[in-house]
Every structure is written in C-alpha cells, then in structure tokens.
Amino acid sequence: MGRIMGNPKARVETPDQEAAEWHERLGARSVTTETIREFFDWRKSPANADAYRRVELIWTESRKLAGRPEITEALNDAMSRRLRKTSEDRSTRRLLGLAALGAAAALVIGGWTWWQGRSTFTTGVGEQWVVQLADGSSVRLDTDSRMRVRFSDGQRLVDLERGQAMFSVAHDGQRPFVVAAGDARVTAIGTVFDVQRQGSGVSVTLVSGAVDVTRLSGPERPLRLAAGQEARVTPAGTASRSVDLPTATSWTEGRIVFRDTPMNEAVAEVNRYLTAKVVLEAKDLATVPVNGVFKTGDRDAFVAAASGVFGLEPSAGPDGSIRLSERGK
C-alpha cells in the first residue's frame, strides 16, 4: 500500500499508517478474498506485522479509557471534524481515532466486534459480523451462526456450533489454530479458510495457506488441502475437490452465486438469510439447475427470477413465506 503520488505533497506511508488503513479495510461489512490475500502479503514483512500488532494493542488498551470525559470529548471532536480534514493527515487521524473509538461504549461498529473477554459469538438471521480475536486473527461470521472461542497457552480452539465462518488466522507456530465443527477438525498455523456446517456434514474451503482436515470418527489420516480446494466431511467419509474461490466465498461480499445449483439447494441457500422463507412446492423442479447472482437477503429478486425462468406461481403463505408452485397446479 506504500505509494508516491505525483504532486508536491507526495509521501510514503509508514507501516503504522498502513496498518491503520488495513485495520479499517478489514472491518468493512464486505471484504473480498482478494483483499484478504493482499493483507497477508503485506503482513509478511516483519515491520508491517509489528505495526499491525501495535494497532491491535491500541484497541485493546483503549478499553481501559472508556468513560473518561477527555476521551469522549476527543471522539466527538474527531467525528465532527472528519469531513473538513485534508487527505494529507487522513492516516494519522486513523491512528488517533482508533484509541478514541476504542473507548466508545459499544466497540461494535459497522459489523466489527471485539473479543473483550467474550467466549461466544452469535449472529442472527441475515446478519454478518467480523470478530477480532485476541491473537490477531479475525473471523467473519455468516448469517445464523454461532461459535465458541477457547484459547490456551498451547492451542487456539474455536468451536463452530452452527452456520458458516471465514477465518483469517494470525501466524503462531507455537499455537495451532483449530476449528471444531461437528465431526470435523481443521488445523491451521496462519492461513485463510472457510468452514460451513450443513446438517451432519461440514465443508472446508481453503483460500490461502494450508490446512489439515480430520474426520474424528473415521480411520483415515488428515487431509491436507491446497488453496482452491474444498473438503467435504460426512458420516460416509472425507472427499476433496477443486472449487472456484470467488463463487465459494461470495457470501463475504453479500452475494450468493449459483452455477448449475439444484433448485432445492438454491432455495435452501437463499433461505439462510431470510426469516420469511421461500417454499418450493413444485417438487418436480427440485433438481433443475439454477444459475444466477443474488444479494443475500433479497428474496423478491430470487422469487421473480425463479418464477420467470421456470414458470412458477408465487403465493403468500400464512406465515409470511412465499410459496413457489407450478402454474396451473
């Protein structure tokens, strides 16, 4: 991210300034897999890694300042002046703003939440949150998901009790990062991967780095994944395949991508983000392939597309659901 612009005020940003910018980018509601890769490349530099740890420390230590009137005053002043400041001091203001924002009461801003000693994190239907863990790792928790965090001196353990999460793991060779999800165990050192629980099965998709996937109830050895591979753990065993990463991780950008997805699976995926569900009553179309891109939570767009393409008749159910039936039946 360091750069020189062609103007009289050109400058090169310091690692601390870049770290503050990365901290802000990773806390956005939508973070692409490409952004995550860029962050890990940037953090390979020891100076950058140290700078990012310092930014995280500012947030952690700033909790001790909560309630002090001078901090509240600084926060209010910074917020009121932010639109009048020039771009030249924008990065410096980010660093100072971290401390002020950290002292604010909630520490839950724009989909970003901090550990603060908590051990359990839950999202409601339609919600996504980014959780910053104490070791510097971050977790993007998808809709209707729940995880429990248990760190010790020898291991970093996260139980994904339901739902889906994208893990960006801070490197620590002395403490493996382990995600437990049903019958599956995923072990990483420093990498980016996605885990989803689906009924009795678990899917693990590797974005970068390497992970070992183990089925606890089976005799097989751990399966080592490479970037772009997905492991599926079921009661029948463990299998891997190559996947299209932008499609597999599109939920982190607020999108659902279907590529020859059976209709019943597409409906189930859309419903993960809805309280008022879509009900497929046209059972003969359950396995018909569906293609398209939809925003998470946009029920109307999916219903309109499915009705138009497959000749379905939508009707309102008594519980607020939308039922899709074949026309004339």
pLDDT at 234: 95
What are the structural domains of the chain? 15-106 (no CATH), 115-243 (2.60.120.1440), 254-326 (3.55.50.30)
Coil, strand or helix: which one is 174? coil
Max CA pair span of the chain: 72
With residue 256 as reference, give the H or E element that holds it.
strand 255-262
Residues in the chain: 329
- Rounded Cα distance between 167 and 190, Å, is 10
Give me the pLDDT at residue 134, please.
Answer: 83
Q: In what order do the strands lie in the sheet with 211-215?
A: 120-122, 146-151, 156-162, 177-181, 184-188, 211-215, 223-225
Tens of pLDDT, residue by residue over 290-302, are 999 999 999 999 9
Where residue 110 falls among pLDDT bands split at 50, 70, 90? very low
Residue 123 backbone dihedrals phi, psi, to 5 degrees: -110, 145
pTM for this prediction: 0.68
Tokens of 80: 């009121």
Question: Among 24-28, 29-33, 53-57, whose mean pLDDT is lowest?
Answer: 29-33
- With cut-offs at 50, 70 and 90, classify the pLDDT of residue 164: very high
Q: Quote the pLDDT of residue 61.
A: 54
Helix (H, G, I), strand (E, B) or coil at 138: strand
* Phi and psi, residue 75, nearest 5°: -65, -50
CA distance 39 to 25: 10
Angle between helices 15-26 and 46-62 (to 10 degrees): 60
29 pLDDT band, cuts 50/70/90, is low
Residue 223 has pLDDT above 80, yes or no: yes
Please give the structure tokens belonging to residue 275.
């309280």
Q: How does pLDDT run across 305-316, given as a tens digit for each residue?
A: 999 999 999 999
In eight-state DSSP terms, residue 10 is -
For residue 300, the tally of other CB atoms under 10 A from its CB is 10
d(CA 301, CA 73): 45
